[in-house]
Amino acid sequence: MTRLTTARIGSCLFVLALFLTAGARGATIEWLVANGGNGHFYNWVGIESTWQEAFDMAASMTHNGMPGYLATITSEAENNFIIGNFNQRGWLAGSDAAVEGEWRWVAGPETGELFFVGEYPDPNRQTLIYADWGGNEPNDYDNTQFGFPYPGEDYLQFDPARGGEWNDSPGAPQTDAGFYVEFGPIVPEPASLLMMGQAGLIALALAWRKLSVALRRRTD
């Protein structure tokens, strides 16, 4: 990370602190389980930022003891919840920066989850879980032809101008845009649970071995 990037992120976190202290943040709204939701809380933060800055700011926030993270949208019902309660332009936690054309969630309990592959105009592009791309999206548009230093678009943005559909963006700061933060428990991924289980079994085996040795010494 460059000094410039570090300084800018630090500046954004300072602005976020002022923003929250001033009470300028909108209402944090729960998606109620009784209404078919997941019990998580959501908010839209109206700070103009890069995608990475939004990612870092969201991760610095908490609500009712729950950690915040750049929001993920994994169903039509969740997308409609965002439209109905916020409907503002803002960053989400989707990205294909790691591998072009492989859109994954990179925050929250869905971290690493592949939800879409391909890009327009590839006829074989496919939604694997849920996605609500706008027409001809994602297209990894080359903005350099207009003099902007952005050769591609690797970051997900919610776009109310398209009726709540999604757009891929270069991740640069954009006017009249913010980011969505989601608050909820971070559940370990299955792979993490497997590793924890294996570690527990190893610890149990070592403890049993020590106990067996101690018992043998007593009987000798």
Does one domain contain both 73 and 122? yes
**pLDDT tens, residue by residue, 56-68:** 999 999 999 999 9
Rounded CA separation 198/26 (Å) = 44
The 10s digit of each residue's pLDDT in 151-200 is 789 999 999 998 999 999 999 998 889 999 999 997 754 544 444 444 44
Question: Is residue 87 over pLDDT 70?
Answer: yes
Q: Are residues 20 and 110 in the same domain?
A: yes
**Rounded CA separation 138/156 (Å):** 9
Identify the top-confidence range among 11-25, 142-156, 198-212. Answer: 142-156
Q: Which residue has the higher pLDDT, 47 or 196?
A: 47
Residues 122 and 216 in one domain: no
Q: Are residues 198 and 181 in the same domain?
A: no
Domain that holds residue 117: 3-187
Give the range among 23-32, 52-61, 134-143, 192-201 with minimum mean pLDDT: 192-201
Structural domains in the chain (count): 2
Token readout for 145 is: 């032809």
Q: Are 125 and 215 contained in the same domain? A: no
CATH number of the domain at 150, please: 3.10.100.10
What share of the chain in percent tops pLDDT 90? 65
Do residues 219 and 166 both lie within one domain?
A: no
Task: Based on the fold, state whether residues 182 and 194 are members of the same structural domain.
Answer: no
Name the pTM for this structure.
Answer: 0.76
**Cβ-Cβ contacts under 8 Å for 171 (sequence gap 6 or more):** 50, 51, 52, 97, 150, 153, 154, 155
**Burial status of residue 140 (CB atoms within 10 A of its CB: 0-12, 13-18, 19 or more):** middle
Judgement on whether residues 179 and 203 belong to the same structural domain of the protein:
no
Is there a single domain that holds both residue 156 and residue 209?
Answer: no
- Same domain, residue pair 129 and 212: no
CA–CA distance, 97 with 84 (Å, rounded to integer): 29
pLDDT the model gives residue 193: 44
Give the alpha-carbon dihedral of 101, 104, 107, 108, to 10 degrees: 170
Q: In angstroms, rounded to a whole number, what is the distance separating the alpha carbons of residues 180 and 83?
A: 12
- Pair 110, 209 in one domain: no
Note whether 42 and 28 are within 8 A (CB).
yes
- CA dihedral sign of residues 184, 189, 195, 201: positive
Estimate to the nearest angstrom the gap between the alpha carbon of 129 and the chain centroid.
Answer: 15
User: Which residues face 165 on adjacent strands?
Assistant: 159
- Residue 45: phi and psi, rounded to 5, are -110, 120
pLDDT at 202: 46
pLDDT of residue 181: 98
Cβ distance 27 to 46 under 8 Å?
no
Pair (26, 68) in one structural domain? yes
